[in-house]
A and B are shown apart, each in its own frame.
Chain A
């Protein structure tokens, strides 16, 4: 398996624009996680899905953030409208079961100017 695949790897956008980050989890994994990494806050969980259903979105910072998982092989994290403080590295991860190791993608580095 190619692992968790995220796209794009880098995204630079202007404040106010909509940004969509994409993730393809490892085939067969039932859990998908979106994390954000910043210097100030470190790594924090935004939301996670089980069998395509959002289970815990308490980490989503604002209504500007939304995530979907229309099928088992694809998820999106959308920010609309984007703000400079959203600049961070966004990681997607998947795992086969709860409490097992999560496999992370290479991340999307988002810069909002």
Chain B
């Protein structure tokens, strides 16, 4: 079965703090893809990153970084020096159904960054 678990329902931090959003996935596929999306208060879903199962290199993009560890089936997302504009719901997603493009989303983590 394919499953994505985001155990943190809500996180609240003060601006400039670092924060890590956890994502644990389950799949029997050897080839799969992992994604992070951001859903700001306006409601749209914004793509952040895509990672395939053969690429375990960590990725950094500005204040954002991602840690992919196949050994623990985790794909965690860290925001460094958080800002109020980072306040949103963040979704981790898995595409593992034989590469169909069918995304399995986690329940999302609501991040609130306070000034």
List chain A positions with a Cβ less than 8 A from chain B: 31, 33, 35, 42-45, 48, 55-56, 89, 91, 93, 95, 98-107, 109
List chain B positions with a Cβ less than 8 A from chain A: 33, 35, 37, 42-47, 50, 52, 91, 93, 95, 99-108
Please name all residues of chain B whose beta carbon is closer than 8 Å to the beta carbon of A93 when the two chains form the complex.
45
Please name all residues of chain A whose beta carbon is closer than 8 Å to the beta carbon of B102 when the two chains form the complex.
45, 48, 56
Query: Are B101 and A48 in contact (CB-based, < 8 A)?
Result: yes
Please name all residues of chain B whose beta carbon is closer than 8 Å to the beta carbon of A104 when the two chains form the complex.
37, 44-47
In the assembled complex, the Cα of A95 lies from the Cα of B33 at a distance in Å of: 14
In the assembled complex, the Cα of A42 lies from the Cα of B108 at a distance in Å of: 8
Taking A98-B99, A99-B52 as given, write out 12 further A-B residue pairs in contact, using a Cβ cutoff of 8 Å, ordered by the A residue number.
A35-B103, A44-B105, A45-B103, A48-B101, A55-B100, A56-B100, A99-B95, A99-B99, A104-B37, A104-B47, A106-B43, A106-B44
